[in-house]
Every structure is written in structure tokens, then in C-alpha cells.
Chain A
Amino acid sequence: MNLCQAINNAMDIALANDSSTCLFGEDVAFGGVFRCTVGLQEKYGKDRVFNTPICEQAIAGFGIGMAIVNEAAKFRYRTGNLFNCGKLTIRATWGAVGHGGHYHSQSPEAYFTHTPGLKVVIPRGPIQAKGLLLACIRNENPCIFFEPKLLYRSAVENVPIADYETELGKAEVVKEGKDLTIVSWGTQLHVALDAVKEAEQEIGVSCEVIDLRTILPWDVDTVAESVSKTGHLIITHEAPITSGFAAEISAKIQERCFLHLEAPINRVCGWDTPFPHILEPFYLPTKWRLMDAIKKLIHFQH
């Protein structure tokens, strides 16, 4: 399955297993502009999979309202938790796509990570996408699930057909290493893996690569443990650098791993500009910018 099919499969399972689950948004009825919802309306009916008017604020509000009813029916008298919208999951396409310009490329996760109460989740491929999306749908908190749209068709994996969940709030060490830690998520994780391969061949440095997967609340322990071992940390994301989520990781790890750090923590991110159209190749935190950062970090002199 590619990433798009894995997401379709996850939603198919969620709709099949819980009759209160509904799927709606702009153009989802005919299968979605990215084909993620293909076949679901035919299978589950127009009252469960449907189009809405073009109004994002109303779509979010409508979803909250549906979830409140679902929850009120199940947990009516819970003390100190009278109502909630924990059953809400918001899916959105995310990240650079090669030619998306200002409004089809953005990575807005940091706006949401400053909002206590939300969970923010980003998969790096089809297997992750299915497990994490099912976990989000069933999680008792409102979740935002960002889907790296560059990977919709390009990422293909053998995704298990069965129902499974990938735990939220847990990072994954995708590749072990001993000299340097790189943390990333979504599409950028693949850029990091490319850079690491190149760096290992060129300068023989051993890099550990961590996929954060859940951006909020994030897995501090896994990252801290890795950095305590390697002494070097690079965080890389597509979003602009200032107040991007790398700033949060950097500050926290500096606090937790101060005595283990052998060089300043480095952030390789998008520039502080709107996402450009024709200049995209120079905007993105490329493999070469990561290579550059790895070399500088390893050769850092006290």
C-alpha cells in the first residue's frame, strides 16, 4: 500500500468497527482530492461519509459538536469532565510537495504544539500512517493528524491488512548510531536518513536517527537517552526555524542532557520566510544542509 491507501484502509477499519464514527470535509464523498477516502461513502453510506460546505471553521466546530454528543452519551456524569470532544480526529495534508507555493506546502505543527489539550501526530510512511491514524481515532483526546502529501503515492510499504495501532507519544529509533543523534518527523525523516547514509560513507560518522512521530506530547525520554549516548543533536524540520518545534526540543534536551552535550544543539530547518514557489529547492532543509551541519557538529572545537 502507498500512504494514501494505508490511510484509506485505517479509516475503513475505524468506520467498520464503530458505528458512531463519521468522516466528513470538503470533497471527501467522491473519494477526496488526494483519493484518501475512495469507496468509503459507497460502503458506509451518505450519513457517515459526506461533503461539507467550504468552511474550515465550521467543519472543525461541527466535528467537536458530534464528538460532544458521542461522549456525553457514554460518559455522562464524569466529575470534572462534564463534556469533551476526545473522539475528534482532524486529518490534514501537510508539508512540501515540490511546487505547492505558499498555501499547499506549510507545516503548521508548531502552532498547535503551543496548545495544551491537543495531540499532534505525523507519520513517515504507510505502516506508521495506518497504526498512528487508528490510534488517533480511538484516542480519548482531540488529535490532529498531519499527512505528508509528498508521500501519498511515493511511499509504498507492505502494510498489514489487520487492525493495529501504533502507540501515541512514543518516538521510534529508526536507525541506531553512536556519534550523533538526528531527530525529525514526516517527509524530512527520509531526508535525514539520506544525509546520514552519505555522511557515514564520506566521513565515517555513526548517526542515530529518531522519528518523533507524536509531536505533542513528545517523547523526551527517547531523545534524551540517545543524546546522552551520542553527545550531539541535530533537529530538522521543514517549517521555519524561529519558534519551530525544534526550538522546544532543543531547549528541553539542553536542560536534560547538559553534561552530555559535546557541541551546541543544531537546528536545520526552513528559513523564516513564507514557503516559496520557484525557490523551493533553496528553501528546504536539504540533505546537503544536513551534511554540512553533521560535519560542523562533529568537528566542533571547544
Chain B
Amino acid sequence: MFRRCFIPTCSQLSSVVASRENPLAIFHHCSTGSDFRLDEFTDKYLNHHKAEFTEKLKILSPNEQATIPIYRVTNSEGQFIDPNYDFDLTKEMALKIYYSMITLQQLDKILYDSQRQGRISFYLTSTGEEAAQIGSAAGVHDNDLIYGQYRESGSLLYRGFPLESFMHQCYGNAKDIGGGKQMPIHYGSAEHHYVTISSTLATQLPQAVGSAYAFKRFSKILQEKNGRIVLAYFGEGAASEGDAHGAMNMASTMKCPIIFFCRNNGYAISTPTTEQYGGDGVGGRALGYGIHVIRVDGNDLIAVYNATKAARELAEQNEPVFIEAMTYRLGHHSTSDDSTAYRPNEEVNAWHDKDNPIVRFRTVLKDRSWWSDEEDIAYREKIQKEVMNALLYAEKIPKPSISSMFDDVYKEMPKNLQEQRDELTEHLSNYGKHYPMKDFEGIN
């Protein structure tokens, strides 16, 4: 933003012109000044979008532009719109997806309750967005890098992150691979290619673009045709952050293999979308950045899966894609929020009853005879027990060592931190009785 003060010298300008490919080509076949300018605008100003002059004074209205349609395969009852539609999910994969949806539901239920009982400090459910998360995770490769916001536990679950590991993170115990340093639900796993969540909204987006660019370079160096891509999740509220703008613009100019996946669930805490943006949703912005876009019914698992799979094919060719999944946040924003303060119960109940992503997908499975009500009951009971067991196990494990607070600030521990660690250790040797020492693995 400061660059305007630095006007290049003549010699610098001439070097820019000289380095441009075939700089004189435009002069050969342009007969008029208008042609020259239209060619210039088209090629250099508008990214090859054909420029035209008009003599009609008209300010374009957003109300006259076509709204991006919502792609779906099934209706709210889980019936195929096209009765002959044949989806390409195998039974094995469809059931894996459904198992993940049920497990996420049980995980949410039990951890939400445990927060209410004061056993963990915070929680945030995915209720209503199971299809958006798991359908998109299923649509990319398992080694594609995921950057999330915080309401994408389902994607990590689908990749096989163990139930115990979810619990260890929420309890911040000594077995948490994050070292117990972050609030609950801030999961991360290098093994599952899922970059550790942070609370700051949208900061992951330009980072995701940087990672995608690095993948692009690696693919080029290794001459791999099917390189890795990045899947970056965020909510429609986070899309208002400056980082979202920077990320989309960078992805477009740098041609990065990335899928931006926006979960538009109608609310950012208490703020409805009408107070978040004035345009055609969030997806409506993508074309302005020169990014491919699709809006999808976020409660239709098959539609989300299809859209992500198709987006991945484009992204793999270094064409960034934007997916806006229309869904509804059925739960409270978090355990620190009571959503009845800003939206009527009737609205929540209507979404729960009339457009439930789990019910919709289960109907598809049942109609194929891949699943039954009896199996459903039995599976839920089984998973509930597994989740409870994982919780009880995590609860018994002590918290990490106290001095681990000073680890990993830097790769090495600088002297000031060593001194502060020693100071705390000495303090605790005298005043330990005033601290919750017994909950921790020890001082060192």
C-alpha cells in the first residue's frame, strides 16, 4: 500500500517493457486506436475477458445479475430428483461416510454434555453441517492438505483421527499431540494432513494458498501429474475478513491448486447473513476474482461430494475453485452461546425436521438396501459406547508437565525462557500447594 510513492525511473520502465514477451506484436494488427485499446484492455487489464465499449450509459445493478444456482442431487426427503441418477459412490465408501456422520453426531452430543457438566472448558458442535464436512473430505484425496476454521471435525474424523485423540485434545492431557496448549476443538494432525486449527478467523486462507503454491512447485519439480491440492474451509462470517479477500486474489493471480470451501450456515454467532454481506452470497464474489465457482446444497451429501470431486479435478490443473455449501447451523454457535437469544426455536426445529443432512443420506442408503433401521440403532449404541470409553480414558490421563509451557515457543529454548522456566520451577517448589499440581505430570 506504500508503493505509490516510488515512481520507477525511465531506465527501470524500459527494462519492464523490454522483458515483456513480444512487446511489439500488438502494433502490427491494430488498425485503430479503439482496436488497440480494446486489445490492451482485454489482454492486459481484464485477464483476457473480452473488452467492449458501449455508448449506452448504464450502471449495472446487482439485482439484474443471475444468482448462482444451488446444485443438488436429492430433495430434502432424500429422494433423487432424477430417478435414474446413478451415483458413483461404492457401498463401502457410502457406509464409511455414513459411519463418520453418526460418529460425529455422537462425539458432539457427548462432548457438548461433558462441557455442560464442567468436565471440559469449551465445545463447539457440527450439528446440521455433517454432510458439508464429510462430503467434501470424501471428495478430495486423503493426502490433500486441509486447513479448517473450527467446525470441520467431521473431515478429520473421516480421515481416521482416533476418538481418543479428539478427547485428549479437548481435555488438554499429556497425550494430546498439541501439548494441551490450545482450547478444545483446535485439532491438528500432520499424519492426517490437517493443519492445526487456530481461533483467528480466516487467517488460514492465505496460508492455505501459500501451501497450495508450494504443492504446485513440488509437482513441477517432481513432474507429477497428480499433485496434492489444498482444501480450505471457512464460514460465511469469516469470508468478511480481509484475509479472505487477500487469499482469493492471491490464489487467482498465482494460479494455485486450491478449493475454497465456504460453509454458509446462515449465522456468524448471532449475526444473520443479511448483516454479513449484500451480494449474491459469498460464492457470488468468486467470479470477480477470476475463480471457478459452484454453489451446492450443503445438506445433500452426494451433491457436496460431487461438487468437491469435480472441483478437485480443476484445482489439480492449478485452477482455484470456490464451493459455497448452503447449510444451517442447527446447534448453538458454541457452548458459550445461547442461540435462542437471537433466533426462534421454530426456525431451528424446521431445519432439523425438514432438511436434515443425516436423515437425507440415510434415506438414500435405505432405498438402496445398504442400511436398515435396526442396523442404525445398533450402530449408534456401539459408537456411543466407544465415544464414552474414549472420554473416560482421556479424563484419567494427567495434564502435561508444567515446564512444557516453555517448549516449542522457538525450535530451541532461548536463555530468557530457560530462566523463566527455572524461576517458575523454584516458585512452585515453595508455593506448589497453592497450585493444581496434582493434575499435572509434574514440574519437568
The residues of A with any CB-CB pair to B shorter than 8 Å are: 19-20, 22, 26-27, 30-31, 33, 47-48, 50, 52-70, 72-73, 76-84, 86, 103-104, 116-117, 119, 140-141, 169, 217, 220-221
Contacts and interface: CB of A to CB of B under 8 A. Distances in A.
A87 to B, nearest CB: 10
A80 B5 contact: no
Given A58-B247, A217-B416, A83 B196 contact: yes
A271 to B, nearest CB: 23
Given A20-B214, A58-B243, 15 more contacts: A22-B217, A30-B19, A33-B8, A53-B249, A65-B209, A66-B211, A69-B211, A69-B214, A69-B218, A72-B190, A76-B190, A104-B2, A116-B417, A119-B410, A169-B414
Nearest to B13: A30
B181 to A, nearest CB: 9
Contacts, number: 148
B2 A47 contact: no
Contacts of B59: none
30 contacts: A19-B221, A22-B217, A27-B3, A27-B6, A30-B8, A30-B19, A31-B12, A31-B15, A47-B220, A53-B246, A54-B1, A55-B250, A58-B243, A59-B206, A61-B205, A61-B207, A61-B246, A65-B207, A77-B191, A78-B190, A79-B177, A80-B178, A80-B407, A80-B408, A104-B5, A116-B417, A117-B410, A119-B410, A141-B411, A220-B415
Contacts of B97: none
B14 to A, nearest CB: 11
Contacts of A61: 203, 205-207, 209-210, 243, 246-247
Interface in B238-260: 242-243, 245-247, 249-250, 253-254
B7 to A, nearest CB: 9
A181 B221 CA distance: 53
Interface in B193-235: 195-196, 203, 205-218, 220-221
B206 A58 contact: yes
A82 B214 contact: no
Interface of B: 1-3, 5-6, 8, 12, 15-16, 19, 145, 147, 177-179, 188-191, 195-196, 203, 205-218, 220-221, 242-243, 245-247, 249-250, 253-254, 404, 407-412, 414-417
B214 A70 contact: yes
A66 B5 contact: no
Contacts of B205: 61
Contacts of B1: 54, 56
A116 B417 CA distance: 10
Nearest to A217: B414
A65 B214 contact: yes
Contacts of B147: 65
B12 A83 contact: no
Contacts of B253: 52-53
A64 B250 CA distance: 14
A197 to B, nearest CB: 33
B3 A55 contact: no
B249 to A, nearest CB: 5
B442 to A, nearest CB: 16
B286 to A, nearest CB: 16
